[in-house]
Amino acid sequence: NQIVARNKTTIDSAYKALKSGTDFAEVCKQYSVEATRKDKGGSIGKVLAERYKEPFQKILLSAKIGKYSKAFEYGKQWYIIMVTEKEENKIQEFDKMKESIENKLLADKRYTKAREFIKKLEDKQNLVYNDSNIKHIAEIFGTAPGTVVDTEKLTNEDKELVIATSTLGEWKIKDILKLEEERGITIPINNPFSLKGILKRIMLSNQLNSEARRHGLDKKQVIKEEIAYMKYGQLAIKLKSSIEYEPDNKDILEYYTAHKSDYYEKAKADISIITVDSKKEAKDLMKKLTSKNFGSLAKKHSKDNTRYRNGELKNYMSNMRPDLNLNELPMKGKIGKISGPIEGKNKWTIYKINKQYPGRQKSFDDIKGTITYQVKNEKIREMIDEITKSMRSKCEVWQDDQFFSKSSDTTKIEK
C-alpha cells in the first residue's frame, strides 16, 4: 500500500498524521494523489521488488509487515509505503526447470540469429525516403487523427511521385495504391511516420522474397504467404459473422447433460476475517472480540487488505484464499460464531460467518441462454477450423541454416 504526494510538504503532513495514530487508509484518502487507489487504502496489489529502482527497492525489501515507512522521494514524487505481506524468492529444482530453461535459451539464440539476419537484409536494402514528396502527400489530406483519405484528390502527377528507393527499386504513390487494392489493406499515406514504417516492412518483405528465390524457392511467394497469414485473423472474424447457425433444443439439452457438473454452483459464505502474525496475538484478540466490535477491531488490528472493508470477505468459496487455510469451514460453521485461530501461510486467521449460501445444481432453464451461446460458438469454431485448415498449411517458413540455429545446435545446458 502506498501514499503518493507531489511535494514534500504534503507527504510530511501525511507522515505526521500517521505518527499521531490516524489509520493508514484514512491518511491515504486525505493526502494521496492517486485517484484510483486513495479510496482503497493505496493498495497496489502484489509487486516484484526487482522492478523498482533505489531507494524504492531497498525500502520495500527492508520494510516490516504492517509498518509504514518514512517519507522518501522516488522519481518526481514522494512516497510512504506499507508492506502488508511478503513472499521470498522460490527457486525450483533444476530437474523440473531443465526443459523450460533449454527452450528459453534456444528461443533466445534463434531470436538473436534471426535479428542478425534481418539486420543484414536491412543494411543491404539501402532504403532512402523522399521526405519532400511524403510531406506533399500528407499536406493534401491533412494529418489530423481520423482523417478520411480520399484518393480521388490525387492527380496523376501526384501518383507518379517517388516516395522511397532501395537496392530493389523505387516506390511511387501509385505503387502504394496498387498494394492497397491487391492486399485489401489500408495504408495511411497521410501519416509520414506510419507510411515510412510500412515502407520499411514492404522493402524488407521484398528482400526476404529475393532471398527465398536465391534459395530456389521461386514457387514459394513469401510476400503473398505473409499477407495470407496476416489476413487469417481478419478472415476468421468475417467467417464467424457470416456463418449462420442456431442450435436447437436437442443440441442444447445434450450439451447440458454432458457438462452438467460444470454448472454446479459451489457453496459460498459471506465472512469477516482478521489476520495477525502469531497464534498468541490471535488468542489475545479473540478474548476481546464480539459480533458488534469485530469490524472495528479488524480495521485496527488485521494485516489483511480486507481491513479496509472492516474485515468483510463476500462470496468466499473453498478454493479462494488458500493463504488463509479456511477451506470448507465457513460453509459448515454456525452463522454469527467467531472461530479460530486457524494457521495459514505466515499468518493466523480469526473468522466470523455472516451468511451462508448452500451449493446447488443450476437447472437447465437457469442457464439455457449461456449454453446456447457456448454450443453456437463451439460449432462455429469447428466450421471455421475446417474452412481455414488448408490456409494454415500454406503458411510455411523457409530457413537458412547459416543464420538460424536448429535443435541439434544446442546451448550447453550445464551453464
In this structure, are 354 and 271 located in the same domain? yes
pLDDT tens profile 219-275:
444 445 455 545 555 555 565 666 667 788 888 888 888 888 888 888 999 999 999
Q: Does residue 398 fall inside a structural domain? A: no
Ramachandran angles phi, psi of 378, nearest 5°: -65, -40
Residue 9, domain CATH: 3.10.50.40
354 and 288 housed in the same domain: yes
- Residue pointed to by grid coordinates 442457464: 367
pLDDT in the model for residue 122: 72
For residue 409, tell me if it sits in a domain.
no
pLDDT over threshold 70, residue 408: no
pLDDT given at position 91? 61
Is 261 a member of any domain? no
Give the residue from 24, 122, 8 showing the smallest Cα distance to 81: 24
- Angle value at C-alpha 16, between 14 and 20, nearest 5 degrees: 115
Domain annotation covers residue 101: no
Type and span of the H or E element at 278: none
pLDDT at residue 310 tops 60 = yes
Do 152 and 212 share a domain, yes or no?
yes
Last residue of a domain, one of 220, 250, 284: 220
Burial-class residue 155 by CB neighbours within 10 Å (0-12, 13-18, 19+).
Answer: exposed
User: Do the Cβ atoms of 125 and 167 come closer than 8 Å?
Assistant: yes
C-alpha cell at 383: 466450421
> What is the tens place of the pLDDT at every residue in 269-290?
999 999 999 999 999 999 999 9
- The alpha carbon dihedral of 283, 284, 287, 291 has a sign of negative
Highest-pLDDT range among 46-60, 111-125, 345-359, 396-410 = 345-359
Tally of CA atoms within 13 A in the half-sphere of 119 that contains its CB: 7
77 occurs within a structural domain:
yes
- Range with top average pLDDT, 31-45, 106-120, 146-160: 31-45
Residues 6+ apart with CB under 8 A from 83: 1, 60, 63, 64, 65, 66, 67
Q: How many domains does the chain have?
A: 3
Is residue 381 one of the residues assigned to a domain? no
Mean pLDDT, residues 166-180: 83
* Domain final position from 165, 189, 220: 220
Same domain, 195 and 272: no
In terms of average pLDDT, the best of 115-119, 184-188, 277-281, 362-366 is 277-281
Residue 282 lies in a domain: yes
Range of the domain at 310: 267-358
Distances (CA, A) of 65 to 84, 226, 250, 276, 317: 5, 53, 57, 10, 27
C-alpha cell at 144: 489530423
The verdict on residue 280 lying in a domain is yes
pLDDT of residue 242: 64
* Whether the model pTM is above 0.75: no
85: buried, middle or exposed (CB in 10 Å: 19+, 13-18, 0-12)? Answer: middle
**Domain edge (last residue) among 358, 375, 392:** 358
pLDDT of residue 387: 61
pLDDT band at 114 (very low <50, low <70, confident <90, very high): low
Residue 201 has pLDDT above 50, yes or no: yes
- The grid coordinates listed for 237 are 472474424
Q: How far apart are CA 286 and CA 305, in angstroms?
A: 19
Q: Span 100-123, mean pLDDT?
A: 71
Gap between the Cα atoms of 205 and 247, Å rounded = 44
Question: Is 287 in contact with 237 (CB distance < 8 Å)?
Answer: no
**Residue ranges of the alpha helices (H) in 155-248?**
156-159, 173-183, 192-214, 222-242
Q: 42-69: string of b/e by CB count within 10 Å (b at 16+)?
A: beeeeeeeeeeeeebeebbeebeeeebb
Instruction: Please tell me the predicted confidence (pLDDT) of residue 240.
Output: 60
